[in-house]
Chain A
Amino acid sequence: MTALTDVSSQAAAGARWRISEVVFWLLALACAFLFPSRYLIMTDIVRLGLFALSLDLILGYAGIVSLGHAAFFGVGAYSAGLLALHGIINEPVIALVAAGLVAAVLGFLTSFLVIRGVDLTRLMVTLGIALLLEALAERFSDVTGGSDGLQGIEMQPILGLFAFDMFGKTGFFYSLIVLFILFLLARRIVYSPFGLSLRAIRNNPLRAAAIGVPVNRRLVAVYTLAAFYAGIAGALFTQTSALASLDVFAFERSADLMLVLVIGGTGYLYGGLIGAVVFKMLQEFFQSLTPQYWLFWIGLVLVVIVLVGRARIHRSVLFVPNLIIRQFVGRKAVVVPESDAS
């Protein structure tokens, strides 16, 4: 192989689909048929996964920390709610995109405040923006319904064909398809030169600028994109649950999102999705165990994860599957912890 073809194939290697990725999505699809009684929680997971994917785009790729990502989730949720409630856009998919765009506009406008400064400033600014929006939503209760939330949202069938049903089946498939499409888009973006420049900025903004990367412009772009994703996640929330209340802006929502990424890991796109599954299942499990004190256990798990290290946990969890794979297929580990991958 000549050096040139070698370089070309190596440069494109990152973007190639791995078997583990295909398996992941097949499993996600299989869940839809394996657990027909659990659509509501699975929809919840899908939505949280999309929301976490949004945070991963800015945190895992561009290194922007945020404690106020619920701001965009909330704006998306209320936009979708208001559009449906007042019959402005009746078709859910168009309303979904519109709600995402509203959130993106907000993301674009606030990005200039966020990209300045260091991590701590960013944490405070993002937190502040989310609190501001929550207070505004409460103040203008004639529009938002205040603490009662938006009442009486009625969703029209998706594309005029698929009506939302009371078991949440339509809602689940709708959410899963939206997640998959947005995941494909995100995957495309992170393996592009644009995505590479984000990783360079996260690694070393000084050097990124010194090779000609317009650092601020790229950060504004990805922040706006992440806001769009979060807005879509929020709009899905409203559309699949037919309600939007003040808690879409809640600090806990932003904080939970951080936990999801701590559990799943950042910077490889699947962290948010895997984290969302684990987080929700832990939540379910602990809630059924001790309805009152489940937060205690989540907290404990979080501390353990941070102290023991995610890579080590991944490796031990993946030990048995990899052993089987090696035995039967005779190749090296197919599933690798995120820290060892790429």
Chain B
Amino acid sequence: MTIALETQGLEKSFGGLRVTRDLSLKVTRGARHALIGPNGAGKTTVINQLTGVLRPNSGRILLEGSDITGLSVHKRVLRGLSRTFQINQLYADLTPLETIGLAVSERMGRGGDWWRRMGTRDDVNAEITEILSRFHLLDAMSELTSTLPYGKQRLLEIAVAIAAKPRVLLLDEPAAGVPESERHDILAAVAALPRDVTVLLIEHDMDLVFSFADRISVLVNGGLLTEGAPDEVARDPQVRAVYLGEAADA
């Protein structure tokens, strides 16, 4: 099995607080891997290190075998590591068409074109069309993102990440805050992600995790508590104590 994404002995401290402790994680290619853990376990800090927003104090991050620990955020994206955000990070004043158009242009290395007008490259347009229709955003493509219903914005959040054509996709709580009525579209979009894309799902929602993931890592206090197939993790008494017990109370 080839490893798509790997961390080796990742360490991150804020002052005296160790937020990531000796974290070694392997995500195999094509996996549907979930990273779960109670609030404050350090999931977001891990994501931020994987994507390059934060630099680890020590340890390495490997994407398909090559070291990306020192790469900037945008270079990791161009290498094939893309993410969604737990809280929508979209362009309020841009339309879905522009948002996706930019992502596609950047991936094709055309984002710096300053002479060519938008909408004049057939390959870019074809891909925009494909992504907008896959995420049911064609009807709303020329509306300002800030005016879209929340569920549509959430779909756009995933669509943007997909437009970067990632080989590894980090999904940070994709269904967070989505009302029950619009939830189905999100889950369907997540389930329909191409199989050759490796997905690391960071999630709070246990239903989603167990319906989606084929492997689960449990993060507690910044370190790896256990890892295994969903049914193993579900049976693990330690996990039940620190995590599922707490979730069941909530």
Q: Which residues from chain A sit less than 8 Å from chain B, CB to CB?
A: 3-4, 6-15, 188-189, 191-197, 199-200, 203-204, 206-207, 209-215, 217-218, 221
Q: Of B77, B101, B117, B125, which contacts A212 at CB under 8 A?
A: B77
The total of interchain contacts (Cβ-Cβ below 8 angstroms) comes to: 149
Chain B positions within 8 Å of A197 at CB level: 102, 105-106, 111-112
Q: Contacts A4-B129, A211-B77, A213-B106: A204 and B91 contacting too (C-beta < 8 A)?
A: yes
Between-chain CB contacts (< 8 Å), 6 pairs: A6-B129, A15-B118, A191-B118, A196-B94, A207-B85, A207-B91
Chain A positions within 8 Å of B120 at CB level: 12
Interface range for B: 35 or more
**For the complex, is B51 an interface residue (Cβ under 8 Å from A)?**
yes
Chain A positions within 8 Å of B119 at CB level: 7-13, 15
CB distance from B160 to the nearest CB of A (A): 6
How far does the alpha carbon of A338 sit from the alpha carbon of B120 in the complex, in Å?
25
Closest chain A residue to B105, Cβ basis? A193
How far does the alpha carbon of A207 sit from the alpha carbon of B89 in the complex, in Å?
6
**For the complex, is B233 an interface residue (Cβ under 8 Å from A)?**
no
Instruction: Give 5 closest A-B pairs by Cβ, nearest first.
Output: A11-B119, A12-B119, A203-B91, A212-B77, A194-B114
* Contact of B128 with A193 in the complex, beta carbons under 8 Å: no
CB distance from B197 to the nearest CB of A (A): 16
* Contact of B116 with A212 in the complex, beta carbons under 8 Å: no
How far does the alpha carbon of A206 sit from the alpha carbon of B73 in the complex, in Å?
9
* Contact of A188 with B115 in the complex, beta carbons under 8 Å: yes
Q: Contacts A7-B97, A7-B125: A192 and B74 contacting too (C-beta < 8 A)?
A: no
Q: Of A9, A203, A209, A214, which contacts B92 at CB under 8 A?
A: A203
* Contact of B132 with A207 in the complex, beta carbons under 8 Å: no
CB distance from A121 to the nearest CB of B (A): 20
Q: Give B52-102 interface residues, CB cut-off 8 Å to A.
A: 53, 72-74, 77-78, 82-83, 85, 89-94, 97-99, 101-102
**For the complex, is B113 an interface residue (Cβ under 8 Å from A)?**
yes
Q: Of A203, A209, A215, which contacts B94 at CB under 8 A?
A: A203
Chain B positions within 8 Å of A15 at CB level: 117-119
Please indicate which of the listed interface residues B97, B114, B126, B132 has the most CB atoms of chain A within 10 Å of its own CB: B114
* Contact of A210 with B111 in the complex, beta carbons under 8 Å: no
* Contact of B97 with A10 in the complex, beta carbons under 8 Å: yes
Q: Contacts A193-B118, A210-B82: A11 and B111 contacting too (C-beta < 8 A)?
A: no
How far does the alpha carbon of A197 sit from the alpha carbon of B133 in the complex, in Å?
23
